[in-house]
Structure 1
Amino acid sequence: MPSWKLVSGLSLAFVGSLVGAFLIALSLVTVPNEAKAAATQQSNVFYWADGTVMGTKGETNRQIVDLKEISIHMQDAVISAENASFYDDPGVDPKGIARAMFNMATGGDTQGGSTITQQYVKNTYLDQSQTLNRKLKEMFISIKVGTTQQKEEILQGYLNTAWYGRGAYGIQAASQAYYQKDAKDLNANESAFLTSLLKNANLYNPDGGVGASATPEQNRKRVTGRWRDVLNLMVKNGKLEQAEADSYKFPEPKKQQATEGQAGQVGYLMETAENYVLKMAKSGLTKKDLERGGYRIYTTFEKDKVAKLQKAVDKVSKTYLDPKKREKDKYVQVGAASVVPGDGRIIALYGGPGYDKEHFTNNADTRGVPVGSTWKPFVLAAAMEEGTYKTGGQPLSPQSKYLGNDNIKIYDQSGKPVLKKDGTPFYQQNESDYPWGPITLYEAMQHSINTPFVQLGMDVGMEKVKKLAEDSGISEESMSEINASFALGTSTPSAIRMADAYATFADHGRQVEPYSVIKVVKGGEELAGFEKPKTRQAMDSDVADTVTDVLQNVVENGTGTKAKKLGRPAAGKTGTTDKNKSAWFVGYTPELSTAVAMYREKPGEPKLLSMNGTGGFDSIHGGDFPTEVWTEYMKAALKGKPKKDFDKPGPLNEKVANGAGVTSSAPPVKETEDPEPEESQSTPEDTPSTKPSKPNKPSTPPPPSSSCSPTDWNCPPDGDTSGSTNGNTNGNGNGGPGGSTDPSPSDSETIGWIRGQGDTSP
């Protein structure tokens, strides 16, 4: 029989070998340098203007937050329920590990018994398999983590990596999923409920889970019992008074919200915001950085306004369009944007049917759709801001007369005809051949007559028109080639940019860059670069106010009369391009500026299609569908707000300087008791006019349409077009004095290389 000394020696040797093996194993195990991707992957969270969650973008609904952004009640509840000795223990529970190993060997339950540190290690560095090897790794890594990381860091990591059900990973996502609030705002009662879910969200989420034993009834019974246990444990650990715990009733979670994802307008809103973030962030943020997630992006978009804009588009579309009945009703697209004058924030967009409808181009923030006659206000504003070669730099009066007849020669500043590429004179056409004769610019804008504004653009200088449009908010990249037709809207800015540029008129010539993001937060820190854009004076305030006065007349008496249904002061301009390939209405009140574009484009084929025949009508104009959408939306958006008048323009000391072809012998377009002075083509007017007054309507009205539908879509055309049908459109003239240029491409040619590029992104 072995002596006691031998037995003791062998026992000590065995224990020593175990300790040695443990120490060797501990020294060989290292904490991984990086957490597994699934544990740290986050979604980007987007917020509406009111601070509520718009949606998340990313594979995992997780938002990592600092411990200071997690309610102390939540911290207390988790520690009390999961690991009361957390701040004192070494990070492992030897008894729990031994019990789990024994159960593993005997086929018993392997769950439970882990410390917060162990659960953090399992969530962050290991998989969820229940094997002896994984359990040993968990123990060794937990010991090292417990000695190398601060307890606060471990607790924060655990709360950010745990699963809470409802697709929520991390306490911030869980707080939003169950109570629609941030984790920092959780009270003790709510914290006890969310802590209960950590036991097993599939079996404790009152919504129910997967499996026969996870019915809503069974889960509710489990979670109410566990919730009460957590409250009692908080009392036991001195984190809650018994009386307070007893007073609590079960904190019913809010109704589960359907995951919006990127359906409807949300996808376009997120895309617009992302583009703005990448453009403005001063930290050199890249798209790859954004894709890694973890950003909280607070936008300017107002949920109710976005819904109202979509409703307006849907209502008008449903009224007039039937793709199953009419081939020309297929592929109709709408893009729209709404901007606050004087501020620049974009409060609403309509980008298309939605990502969920497989429409991935944001129609509100993309270049490629010519704006037509909505460009004419920039020509008039440039003439008032810069004058023409006839006024010697003094503002040109809107009472100046220009020849409004169809198919007339256009002259450069030397008095010579503008030539086409073949050396023959360039003739500009109107949509109608009605003989307007000499007509004031005020009236020409009202009826959207082309010829006066092409000649006016030449008299001002198209480069000056371009500069004023750019100063007003139009991006340089969207400008078309400079030539005679530049005045008629061959450029292709986005709806966002057009709404912003017209907002410059609304705010007395003050321009603010459009913006969609007010704040970006990552890891609890606010990123720099998202301060509100500064305001700058783009044009004289009286120039802007005079343009507004002219555009009010367009709504009251001209091509935009459907906007009168708004029932409050409004200014705006219609726009239609050659062959009805696009139609616009851009308008504003003192409070809001909105642009609506309509066009046809077959998916995958970057080419604009004619809208002749769309809706069953011969042609579509900016005064039709786009104006109706604008009016429906603006009515809803401004409902309940007091009506506000525009400010009256102040004196400009402007000159009346008539255009080429307007002579004393020219037939007048209207009868007046005191006709305005007229001049020859080559002699500038020397006498300044008084403040412009609205002229009487022409004694001879424009010719009515031969047939007029109840919707007025076939009523007298608004005169908008990007040119003639015989090839004289779209820039076959030269670029002004001093030489000729190639014609600008037609819209169908231009569209191929610019559709899909964001107009507010870098």
Structure 2
Amino acid sequence: MGRAEERRARQRGGRRAAPRGRRPSGTAGRSGIRRLFTWKKILGTFFGLCMLGMGAFIVLYMVIGIPEGNADAEWQSNVYEYSDGSIMARTGERNREIVDLAKVPKDVQRAFVAAENKSFYKDSGVDLKGTARGLLNTVSGKGAQGGSTITQQYVKNYYLTQEQTVTRKLKELVISLKLDREKSKDYILAGYINTSFYGRGAYGVQAAARAYYRVDAEDLTVEQGAYLAALLQAPNQYDWAIASDTGKKLVQERWNYVLDNMVEQKWLDRADRQGMEFPVPEEPRPAPGMEGQTGYLVEAANAAVERQLVAQGTAEDMKQADAMLDLGGYTITLNIDKKKQKALEEAVRTELTSKLDPKKREVDADVQAGAVSMDPKTGAVLAMYGGVDYVKHYRNNATRDDYQAASTFKPVILAAAVDQDAETQDGVPITANTLYDGTSERPVMDGGKKVGFAPPNEDDRSYGDITVQEAMNKSVNSVFAQMGIDVGMTEVVETAGELGMETEGMEAVPAQTLGSMGASPLEMAGVYATLDNHGKKVTPAIVKSVEHKDRVVEFPDPIGEQVISREAADTVTSVLTGVVDDGTAKASVRENPLRNGQQVAGKTGTSDNNRSAWFTGFTPELVTSVGLFGEDAKSGAQVPMYRAAGVDYRVNGGGPPAAIWAAYTFGVMDEVTKFDLDTKQGNAVKPRTSPSASQSPSKTPSEEPATEDPAAGTPSGTPSGTPSRTPPPGTPSRTPTTEPTTAEPSVPPTSGIPGDPADPGGPGDPEGGEEE
């Protein structure tokens, strides 16, 4: 090694220089990607984007000015039409009255700030974090923004629109910043509380004060102001008059939240806060022009449109959907048939309201009726009865779901049994002919153990051995309570949901077999329409079409997929013909002179303590559900209806509800139709043995005249086939033969009665008891 090379080697720490063309080992990990993405380049790009974003925002800030308020200028009427295009209603003038902020008590002003934007008096008018989240959600299609300041909400309400777009949100941000710089906080707060929507058609705090408490804004208490402030989050959901139990709970929580925030901000003394009670609002007074059934129909149509605006992503939530609809410009055509609507109203009048006389019987003032009629082939809601008059009774009885469904739920249990090929505790297939023990207050058994449920039958009547068919005819609680356990209550609840019932919060417990859950006539009409449609899901549709110049509202097809088998649906329909011809509805329906041979299926229901009474029935072309509800005329509490309308004692489903149904249905029939059923179990199969009863029936089944088989034209006592399944090996065959009804059967019906425990009975459910 020469001196020069030696010197260079020492300078390199003794390392020999690498041959040319080779990469030194110390730099072997540096790839092309690492050279491309260095920290300097990444940071430079980030800062560059930030500068670009800031520059773009500065341009937007300079270009976008505060526009003229346009919320009032854009307001138009909504037009509501019957299915034939004739006008049903047109919305009136907007209920708004601007008030000076000085006329609103200071505590009430602060209640709004505490509810929506505690930092309002200190912030710059925007919530950058909330706005960024809103922009991100809009771009990604996730919807709800949340986090807006009072200033931003006022800008959206008064200067802009409710559209969910990035452009609108950027404009909202810029205008809010400018407005906060150019206007006082009092100006912005006054604009906010005067332009916001509070429900009940009320815009602004003055209209809201009148609508909810019958006072002017200047006379509001802090408790009342806190409720109005809480309302802004969800006006319809939190309106005490129409709120569900969940809605009432939520608005009370929101009310407490507002007042607690006021204490936190030192706007309210803690001792005063402790003594405050929730201020229940007054009953609403509907707008003029909504009298009679019109208001109920418009309200139901609005609710359907708002739900669809949210479902299709046009609105972020129901609050925004309500605001969009209220801006007007919609032509909403309902499926309501004018002729059938008039006929339903007349049927309720002749069979019920004309017989109510509160001066003679105080209970008559507490009877409310609701009904829905629909086409099972299209899902169209053809007629709806919401109550005596929308301006007298604001709650729509056709859509309310706070009363027990009672025995109208029993067909759901049978549908689940047949669809699931369920068996009794003894392994016998459940069919229309299966025998159960109909003893009243008989403990329900599961695997040889009592489940702690022993419901009484109507009037505590016992039937002994009884077929499923006759148990449905006579609505025997003990049979269906046991059947629910045999099928599995989880499966029963799932079937209820598939058929169209709201099952959120519905516990899979034995008491549900008595229909202890709440339901509406609209909901039950949809369930029975699905049965009538051979198990293909039918969702009630009150809206036919919606037109608007700026947006499209498209509704999904009301006819859905097959949710239970055709055989299961048709078997239930078959059994329900017996309720009409041989059971609890025969007095009002079977013997009606207008029937003219029309085939009918249906089910009665009467809830615990006679608080509700039902008849839901159908022909191949029309499904109608009628409910009567006991509601205290003053307090709105649920009350009994005993001896209402002059009945001897209990208002049963087979009484006024079935009478209304028959008068309406037979009055609008265009032709007599027959069911097309696919079932191996026959139509309305009558029992082959006389039931034993602790209280002898007035007429045994063998004394009843044979009725016509709706499907085959044979006597109802003649099965059209054998049960869908045979008993397991080793089980004696006990299936009815196909001999004529006059002949003694060689074998009794299929038996599936669980072993009767030594204990003869147990307590029934005091509040879930179905009496009919």
TM superposition score normalised by structure 1: 0.55
Structure 2 gaps, min length 5: 1-64, 96-286, 316-320, 704-716, 746-760
Match of 1:366 in 2: 400
Distance 1:403 1:416 in 2: 16
1:390 and 1:684 in contact (8 A); partners too: no
Amino acid at match of 1:729: D
Give me the whole-angstrom Cα distance separating, in 2, the residues matched to 1:490 and 1:647: 32
In the TM superposition, residue 353 of structure 1 has moved relative to its aligned partner by 1.6
CA deviation vs aligned residue, 1:216-273 (integer Å, no higher than 9, x gap): xxxxxxxxxxxxxxxxxxxxxxxxxxxxxxxxxxxxxxxxxxx982111111111111
Task: Give the aligned partner of residue 456 of structure 1.
Answer: 483
Q: Which deviates more from structure 2 when the two are superposed, residues 681-690 or residues 597-606?
A: 681-690
Residue 639 of structure 2 is matched in structure 1 by 609
Shift in Å, 1:434: 3.6
Deviations 1:462-487 (A, max 9, x none): 1111111111111224x643322211
How do 1:292-311 residues align onto structure 2 when only pairs under 5 Å count? 292-311=327-346
Number of the residue aligned with 2:548:
522
Counterparts of 1:464-475 in structure 2 under 5 Å? Answer: 464-475=491-502
**What CA distance in whole angstroms lies between the structure 1 residues aligned with 2:743 and 2:406?**
24
Flag the 1:563–1:670 CA change in 2: closer, same or farther, 3 A.
closer
**Aligned-pair distance for 1:670?**
7.4
Q: SS at the partner of 1:381?
A: helix
The 3 A distance-change label for structure 1 pair 560 and 287 is same
**Cα distance in 2, alignment partners of residues 50 and 352 from structure 1:** 24
With over 3 angstroms needed to count, the CA separation of the structure-2 counterparts of 1:696 and 1:430, relative to structure 1, is farther
Superposed displacement of residue 350, structure 1: 0.5
Correspondence 1:492 to 2:518? yes
Where does residue 706 of structure 2 map in the other structure? Answer: none
Corresponding letter in the other structure for 2:325:
L
Are the aligned partners of 1:368 and 1:492 in contact in 2 as well (CA < 8 Å)? yes
Q: Which has the higher mean CA deviation after the structures are superposed, 687-696 or 548-557? A: 687-696
- The answer on 1:482 being equivalent to 2:511 is no
Q: Distance in 1 between matches of 2:578 and 2:502?
A: 28
Aligned to 2:651: 620
CA distance in 2, matches of 1:291, 1:379: 42
- For 1:130-152, what per-residue CA distance to the aligned partner results, in whole angstroms no more than 9, with x for missing partners? xxxxxxxxxxxxxxxxxxxxxxx
CA distance in 2, matches of 1:34, 1:629: 55
Q: Does 1:387 align with 2:421?
A: yes
Gap change, CA 1:590 and 1:691, over 3 Å in 2: farther
Kept in 2: contact 1:543–1:652 (CA 8 A): no
State the secondary structure of the residue aligned to 2:483. Answer: helix
Q: Secondary structure at the match of 1:365?
A: coil
Q: Distance in 2 between matches of 1:684 and 1:468?
A: 31
Summarize the Cα distance change of 1:59–1:395 in structure 2 as closer, same or farther, 3 Å threshold: farther
Aligned residue for 2:537?
Answer: 511
Q: Which of the numbers 298, 310, 319 marks the counterpart of 1:270?
A: 298
**2:142 maps to what in 1?**
none
Q: Give the Cα–Cα distance (whole angstroms) in 2 for the partners of residues 683 and 612 of structure 1.
A: 51
Tell me the amino acid that sits aligned with residue 614 of structure 1: A
Distance 1:683 1:410 in 2: 26
Of 283, 295, 312, 2:347 maps to: 312
> Could you say if the C-alpha distance between residues 612 and 268 of structure 1 is closer, same or farther in structure 2, counting changes exceeding 3 Å?
same
Q: Is 1:404 aligned to 2:431, yes or no?
A: no
Distance 2:442 2:478 in 1: 7
Task: Tell me, yes or no, if the aligned pair for 2:424 and 2:483 is still in contact at 8 Å.
Answer: no
Using the alignment, how far apart are the partners of 2:424 and 2:296 within structure 1?
47
Q: Distance in 1 between matches of 2:400 and 2:743?
A: 38
CA–CA distance in 1 between the matches of 2:742 and 2:416?
A: 25
Distance (Å, rounded) in 1 between the aligned partners of 2:340 and 2:536 = 24
Structure 1 letter corresponding to 2:558: P
Equivalent position to 1:533, from 555, 558, 569: 558
Provide the residue aligned with 1:630 in structure 2.
661
Equivalent residue, structure 1, for 2:157: none
Return the letter of the residue paired with 1:538.
V
Deviation at 1:610, TM superposition (A): 0.8
For 2:639 and 2:418, the matched residues in 1 are separated by 36
**Alpha-carbon distance between aligned partners in 2 of 1:494 and 1:684, rounded to the nearest angstrom:** 46
Name the CA shift for 1:569/1:35 in 2 (closer, same or farther; >3 Å).
same
| Structure 1 contact 651–691 (Cα < 8 Å) conserved | no
Describe the SS at the equivalent of 1:427. coil
Q: Distance in 2 between matches of 1:351 and 1:400?
A: 40
- One-letter code of the match for 1:597? G
**Aligned residue number for residue 620 of structure 2:** 590
Secondary structure, counterpart of 1:405 in structure 2: coil
Aligned partners of 1:428, 1:697: CA distance in 2, in Å? 35
Partner amino acid for 2:450? P
Give the direction of change, closer, same or farther, for the CA distance of 1:693–1:432 in structure 2 (3 Å limit): farther
Question: Compared with structure 1, are the counterparts of its residues 322 and 379 closer, same or farther at alpha carbon in structure 2 (3 Å cutoff)?
Answer: same
- In the other structure, the counterpart of 2:384 is 349
Give runs of aligned pairs for residues 437-452 of structure 1, distance below 5 A: 437-452=464-479
Q: Distance in 2 between matches of 1:693 and 1:450?
A: 30
Mapped partners of 1:269, 1:696: distance in 2: 52
* Alpha-carbon separation, structure 1, partners of 2:682 and 2:613: 35
Q: Where does 1:127-166 land on structure 2 (aligned, <5 Å)? A: none
Displacement of 1:342 in angstroms is: 2.2
Give the Å deviation of 1:689: 5.1
Structure 1: runs of 5+ lacking an equivalent: 1-30, 62-258, 420-425, 700-724, 732-743, 748-762
CA distance 1:390–1:692, shift in 2 (3 Å): farther
Contact 2:604-2:615 within 8 A present in 1 as well: yes
- Aligned: 1:51 with 2:78: no
- Between the aligned partners of 1:507 and 1:43, the Cα distance in structure 2 is 38
Which of 726, 729, 747 matches 2:765?
Answer: 729
Distance 1:312 1:269, change over 3 A: same
The whole-number CA distance in structure 2 between the counterparts of 1:692 and 1:586 is: 31
The code of the aligned residue for 2:85 comes to: G
Which AA in structure 2 matches 1:417? K
Matches of residues 1-400 of structure 1 in structure 2 within 5 Å?
33-34=67-68, 39-59=73-93, 261-281=289-309, 282-285=312-315, 286-357=321-392, 359-390=393-424, 396-400=430-434
**What SS is found at the alignment partner of 2:297?**
helix
**Secondary structure, in 3 states, of the residue corresponding to 2:391?**
helix
Secondary structure of the residue aligned to 2:445 is: coil
Give the 3 Å change call, closer, same or farther, for CA 694–670 of structure 1 in structure 2.
same
Tell me: CA distance 1:34–1:52, structure 2 relative to 1, closer, same or farther (3 Å): farther
By how many angstroms is 1:402 displaced?
0.3
Partner Cα separation in structure 1 for residue 738 and residue 408 of structure 2: 22
C-alpha distance in 1 between matches for 2:378 and 2:740: 31
Kindly provide the amino acid, as one letter, of the partner of residue 325 in structure 1.
Answer: K
The yes-or-no answer on 1:417 pairing with 2:450 is yes
CA pair 518-283 structure 1, distance change in 2 beyond 3 A: farther
Q: Does 1:502 align with 2:528?
A: yes
SS in 1 for 2:307: helix
CA contact (8 A) 1:390 1:683 kept: no
The aligned amino acid for 1:630 is W
Q: Deviations over 1:289-346 (max 9, x none)?
A: 1111111112111122111111111111244311111111112100110111021111
**SS of match in other structure, 2:451:** coil
Task: Quickly say closer, same or farther: Cα 1:363–1:552, change in 2 above 3 A.
Answer: same
Does structure 1 conserve the Cα–Cα contact (< 8 Å) formed by 2:425 and 2:486? no
- Report the equivalent of 2:599: 569
Q: Aligned with 2:80: secondary structure?
A: strand
Contact 1:371 1:492 survives alignment (8 Å) = yes
User: For structure 1, which segment, 385-394 or 552-561, has the greater mean C-alpha deviation from structure 2 after superposition?
Assistant: 385-394
1:592 shift after superposition:
0.6
Contact 2:525/2:623, CA 8 A, preserved across alignment:
yes
Q: Secondary structure at the match of 1:535?
A: strand
Partner Cα distance (2:78, 2:738) in 1: 54
Question: SS of 1:379's equivalent?
Answer: helix
